[in-house]
Structure 1
Amino acid sequence: MVAHASVCLRQLSNGERSQEVRFNRLLGNDRVTVERLIEGWSEQTAPASAGRHVLAIQDTSEINFATTAERRRGLGEIGKGSGRGLLVHAMVAVDADSGSCLGLVAGRIWTRPGRVTVPHAERALSDKESERWVSTGEQARTVLAAAARVTIVGDRESDFYAFWVTLPRPNLDLIGRVMHDRCVADGRLLSAAGKRFAWAGTRRVELPARAPNRPARSAEVIVRFGPVALRRPKGPHHRHLPESVALTLVEVVEPSPPENTAPLHWRLLTTHTVDDAAAAWRIVDWYRQRWTIEQLFRLMKKQGLRLEDSQIETAERLLKLAAIATKAAAVTLQLRQARDGTRVEPASTAFTADEAVVLDALDAEYHGKTALQKNPHPPRSLAWAAWIIARLGGWDGYPSSKPPGPITFSHGLERFRTIAEGWLLRDKHVPPRNVCMP
């Protein structure tokens, strides 16, 4: 998928019918489960996270497939309209200092069996889809056990009381954006509590484009912060939880937005200690790294693999395809980040040990006589590997040339997979065919 930038089985098979059949059989095999595929997401992420401060960023994306009343494909409803599809909840590991994507951590993929008739407030957390924010965070504790520190980052949907009180541990913190203007321990609302804090500083932040009607822009914002204690919500499903939880509120406001533009206003809650303006801005910067998971989902959809275009007929197989596509999108994202060489990550974050041996041999082949023709990146780094893949895809390697793009990487990876397959078979003995002598 990474090589072809597609999930279309026919394209992945290079027109070979037998290979397409093999891919279909893989997706249809009962022993190939979505859960096991998701477990495989983190095989390279766990060692890559060792000794780092890792931002474990999670979010959910709706995957909308074309259906008709006669062809539902076993898919449940998504969104607010009549769309049918599945949901991908993923957690991606990002180095807090460099912003490098270290790979996938955990997640869940599902399709809704039908509408729930019991009101949301009357259901226990275990009976709600929002439970995934907690269970995925719990998986992160195991996968990222070797990390020096883990900060789980969530958007507005993760703002529920159980999330704040059940996940924190020593060396495991939370950052999330506020959705509900909930009560704090002294009886006030959270918004009123924030107004008591003094403004602590001004800074300009760059906001990426979010939609055709929300282009990228620069915003001048101010920040304030202070301690708050959330009060436990009423209701039988919360009685087993602590009566309150101590957090820090970091509020970011854009006082003078451009004309006809909604002002930026973030209320962020965190378990991190915030003692000064520098620490508050650090929380803001870590939250802004959420853009990484937005890029992951974009690479899965129209700007990459085009998962929603798949014509596979059954929800069961589409769920498995989505699990594989999520991993492929993460590898593509890592290669794009490594392209400029400013982030020195090991090649092992995207390539296996056997593939690294093949990269060594290819690096020697492309090693030119002049400095401009040599791989400028540290050996066995991800940037070093990306340089080799780009050369395989037709890039000339000169610093003055235009940086390699997705198509170049796609062509290079396609060639690399073919070369790697042949390399790994080189030592295998193939017995000669029986020959009848006259």
Structure 2
Amino acid sequence: MFVGETTVELHRKSEKLASAAPTCRFVMSLVTDDEGKELARWYLLSNVLDVDATEIATWYCHRWNIESWFKLLKSDGHQLEKWQQTTAESILKRLITASVATTLIFKLYSDSLDEANEFKGFLVKLSGRLTKRTKPVTQPSLLAGLWVFLQMCEVLDTYTMDEINAMRQIASSFFAQSV
């Protein structure tokens, strides 16, 4: 992380508010990987004057991770706003379960070991989501794939292979008649 800062004076156009203009500093942050490729760039305006600029940039980095976590919990994954639980206890249970799954996805997403990359590719295929060639793995696709994988494990634990093959035959004959 590379960080730079400068003091900024804000001037208000209104005479009434001129004295209320806060003292600020402009903090610039650049995050790169080991090869020097830019991962993130932030321009921050802060009124926190007694903390090192690197610390402020680190706070923002953590804030960004929290925002990404909430995005996966809300609109990109668990659809929190559409939950229909009516009691505090049922909301808490579902929130804990969703939080654990989201945290696991964040851990898997940041892991670069060969086994983790293989599992990520497997989950993306299970998810059925289309991804960009430049970004073949996304957190929402991992979450969707994890859900399918857990359902698949439940089916394999519940039914024998003979029962699964019998269901395949039923499905084949049913869909053949429907077409």
Q: Taking structure 2 as the reference length, what is the TM-score of the superposition?
A: 0.49
- Which structure carries more strand by proportion? 1
Report which structure shows greater RCO (CA 8 Å, sep ≥6): 1
